[in-house]
Amino acid sequence: MSAPPRPLHKRHLFLGVGAVLLLNLALLLFVQHYWHGDFPFQDEWGYVARLQQLPQTGFSHYLFDSYHGYYGPVLFFFWYLAYAWTQLDIEAIRYTGACVSMLVALLLVVLLYRRTSLQGWPLLLVLAYGVFAVCSLNHYMVYYQSIEALVQPFMFGVVLLAMWSGEKTLQGRHALLWSAACVGLALIGTGVYAPGLSILPAIVGAQILLLRRLSLSSLLLGILGVLLIFFYIHTAHALARPGEHSAASAADLVQAVKMWVGLTGNALFSPHTPRLTLVTYCLGLLLLVGQLFGLMTVLKQAPEQRRALFIPVALSLYSNLVILEIIGARLHTVESGLESSFTARYTILTLAGPVSLLFYGAMLEWTGQPRRLATAVFIGMALGTLASEAMILVVLPHYAQVLATVRAQLISLQGDPTPFQQTQMMLTPPMKALVYPGKLYLEQEHLALYRDGAPPPTGP
């Protein structure tokens, strides 16, 4: 039997983790500066249109603004701050997003460190990988939209804080206060993206699984979670087109399973070509098996030990509820339909799955065959993330070149884009009527997002 790893001195551990944090921040800033997309892409034109209307509608308009079927007042609030403080300076938005990513990674490190049973180099490796996963460049779709590079890590930070608050509700003291914190964080999360709706159900599910009874906190959070879902559907007019979609079929069920596996693996590896989708499916299966094994192991623990493992259980439930939410929305919406292609904007949300495995690995006592399985899962996660990094280093410069061409076409527009220009600029039909007025608004306001370092235009 091998000897247990020798504990690292706290100073050495903190220096090592600090170096990894700074390295990831430097990588994020480098990529954001040299390879980002530098123009308002797709939905961002809708946000620009709302900024134009702000003097007439007032800021309170953002609180109940439904935009293309989802409800996002917090997302709009970020846009308003970017407008008010930086004049939509795209690099300032992206640099802020890089700093938010680092802070969220630091939060994850603190949560892991305070709960781990690991010692020595295994602990340092797990903490370093946690930083690398959160700050990872594999979520390459965020480089299309500057605001995504900010709100995606912010959203994951909200999820981590909500799960930490949910853990506090099990400790008896101030349970109602911590339940209120869960509700507040869920409201903020829903104001960013619809997947915020899965926060309260995940917390309630974890409470019931670990306590094996219905507590006052889980009852209140369950009721508020259901009310929040109905509020979202009513306010955002989501799922408001009954009868336009056909009934689910066996083929839809197969596609739903493929999406479930694919989106799970996409948290670590975002393919940009069909030839690489097999990697994502393999990683998805690995993560799902690891989550199931970890959850079953937790449920076999004594009551007090189960309670200590609240965060990984809640994160496991959250990551899968988000995917079910996506599948349900796709199945309902006739324009989208079910598809097995991977939506990279969800990867920061499904990242809760791999992060839950980090907690399982760091908190449970693994011996014998389970220890070898846990090691294999960790190695698979690390290799998937490294492979994604290698892919993105090749892909991002190409995207930057393409988007620079699109920006040139945008700036040269003298009216609404023609069908050919609409295709070349990668615009969906609802955006066509917004692009040219948005361009004029950016010109007239002398906003940084338009001028890209050039002198402000002098014309009307």
Q: What local confidence, expressed as pLDDT, does residue 269 receive?
A: 86
Q: How far apart are CA 93 and CA 100, in angstroms?
A: 11
* Domain interval for residue 234: 10-39+89-238+247-411
Residue 99 lies inside a defined structural domain of this protein = yes
Q: What local confidence, expressed as pLDDT, does residue 140 receive?
A: 66
Three-class SS of residue 339? coil
Q: What are the tens digits of pLDDT across the range 16-74?
A: 899 999 999 998 888 887 777 666 666 677 777 777 777 777 767 666 666 555 667 88
Residue 450 lies inside a defined structural domain of this protein = no
Q: Going by C-beta distance under 8 Å and a sequence separation of 6 or more, which residues neighbour residue 350? A: 263, 264, 266, 267, 319, 322, 323
| Rg over CA atoms, the chain | 23
Residue 147 lies inside a defined structural domain of this protein = yes
What is the domain count for the chain?
1
| CB of 332 closer than 8 Å to CB of 244 | no
Residue 272 lies inside a defined structural domain of this protein = yes
Which residues does the chain have with pLDDT short of 50? Answer: 1, 242-243, 334-335, 453-460
Three-class SS of residue 67? strand
Q: What local confidence, expressed as pLDDT, does residue 354 receive?
A: 92
Three-class SS of residue 336? coil
CB atoms within 10 A of CB 419: 9
**pTM of the entire predicted model:** 0.88
Residue 433 lies inside a defined structural domain of this protein = no
Q: How far apart are CA 112 and CA 119, in angstroms?
A: 12
Residue 110 lies inside a defined structural domain of this protein = yes
Residue 5 lies inside a defined structural domain of this protein = no
Q: What local confidence, expressed as pLDDT, does residue 458 receive?
A: 41
Residue 203 lies inside a defined structural domain of this protein = yes
Distances (CA, A) of 330 to 286, 306, 339, 343, 431: 25, 35, 8, 12, 21
